[in-house]
Amino acid sequence: MLPISSEEGNLSYLDALFEATSAVCVTGLVVVDTTGLSRFGQTVILFLIQLGGLGIVTFSTLYIFMPRRTVSVTTHGMIKDYTLSSVEYRTRRTIREIIAWTASFELIAAFVIWPTLAKNGYSFYDALFHAISAFCNAGFSTLRSGMKSFRDDVLLNVVTMLLIVSGGIGFIVLQDIMRFVKKEKRRLSYHSSVVLRTTAVLIVLGAIVFYVLEQNHAYKEMSQGSKVMAALFQSVTPRTCGFDTVSQANLSSSSQLVTIILMFIGASPGSTGGGIKTVTLYILLLVALRMREGGDTIVDRYRTVTHNAVLKAITALVRGATIVLVATTILLVSERAAGHTVGLETAIFECVSAFGTVGLSIGITPYLTAISKLVLIGAMFMGRAGLFILAIPPSRYSPEPFAKYPKADLLL
Mean pLDDT of the region 371-378: 96
- Candidate from 255-259, 296-300, 359-363 with smallest mean pLDDT: 296-300
Model-level pTM?
0.89
| pLDDT above 50 for 89 | no
Q: How far apart are CA 27 and CA 325, in angstroms?
A: 19
Lowest mean per-residue pLDDT among 123-132, 255-264, 265-274, 343-352: 265-274
- Kindly give, in sequence order, each residue whose CB lies less than 8 Å from that of residue 277, ignoring residues fewer than 6 positions away: 265, 266, 267, 268, 269, 316
The reported pLDDT for the residue numbered 394 is 57
Q: Dihedrals φ, ψ of 223, to 5°?
A: -70, 170
Question: What mean pLDDT, rounded, does the chain reach?
Answer: 86
pLDDT at 87 over 50: no
**Average pLDDT score over residue span 246-269:** 94
Contact 262, 235 (CB under 8 A): yes
Report the distance separating Cα 161 and Cα 237, nearest Å.
Answer: 7
pLDDT digits (tens, 9 = 90+) for 309-357: 888 899 889 999 999 999 999 999 999 999 998 999 999 999 999 999 9
What per-residue confidence (pLDDT) applies to 320?
92
Residue 88: Cβ within 10 Å count:
10
The answer, yes or no, to whether residue 386 has pLDDT greater than 80, is no
Spatial CA neighbour of 83 closest among 158, 217, 189: 189
pLDDT at 389: 62
Say if residues 115 and 173 touch (Cβ distance below 8 Å).
Answer: no
Number of helices (H) and strands (E) in the chain: give both, helices first: 15, 2
- Pairwise pLDDT comparison (364 vs 306), residue with the higher score: 364
What separation, in Å, do the N-terminal and C-terminal C-alpha atoms of the chain show?
A: 54
Which of residues 92 and 275 earns the better pLDDT score?
275
Closest CA to 162 of 237, 231, 225: 237
Q: Tell me the CB-side half-sphere exposure of residue 74, using CA atoms within 13 A.
A: 7
pLDDT for res 57:
56
Over residues 363-368, mean pLDDT = 91
Query: For position 184, what pLDDT does the model report?
Result: 84
Residue-level pLDDT at 387: 53
Q: In the predicted model, what is the mean pLDDT of residues 187-191?
A: 89
**How many other CB atoms sit within 10 Å of the CB of residue 322?**
10
**Cβ atoms 131, 163 nearer than 8 A:** yes
**Nearest alpha-carbon partner for 104 in 138, 131, 65:** 131
What is the mean pLDDT of the segment spanning 42-69?
72
Count of residues for the chain? 412
Neighbours of 412 (CB within 10 A): 3
Inform me whether the pLDDT recorded for 90 exceeds 90: no
CA 397 to chain centre: 35
Higher pLDDT, 12 or 296: 12
Handedness of CA 276, 280, 286, 291 (dihedral sign): negative
Q: Would you call the peptide bond into 272 cis, given omega within 30 degrees of 0 as the criterion?
A: no
Q: Which of 90, 411, 57, 14 is nearest to 269 (CA)?
A: 57
What contacts 387, CB < 8 A, 6 or more positions away? 57, 269, 316
Q: Residue 299: in which H helix or E strand, if any?
A: strand 298-300
- For residue 329, the model assigns a pLDDT of 96
* pLDDT on residue 390: 57
The SS3 call for residue 397 is coil
Rounded to 10 degrees, what is the CA torsion of 6, 8, 9, 12? -80
CA distance 287 to 54: 32
- CA-wise closest residue to 376 among 388, 358, 392, 389: 358
Alpha-carbon torsion angle 345, 346, 351, 354, nearest 10: 130
Which pLDDT band, with edges at 50, 70 and 90, does 400 fall under?
Answer: low
In the predicted model, what is the mean pLDDT of residues 100-113? 93
Of 149, 137, 142, 139, the residue nearest 127 (C-alpha): 142
Q: What is the DSSP string of 143-193?
A: STTGGGGGTT-HHHHHHHHHHHHHHHS-HHHHHHHHHHHTTSSSS--HHHH
Residue closest to 58 by CA, chosen among 131, 133, 136: 136
pLDDT for position 399: 59
For the residues 152-179, what does the mean pLDDT come to? 90
Q: Average pLDDT, stretch 42-48?
A: 95
In 3-state terms, what secondary structure has residue 103?
helix
Which secondary-structure segment (H or E) carries 298? strand 298-300
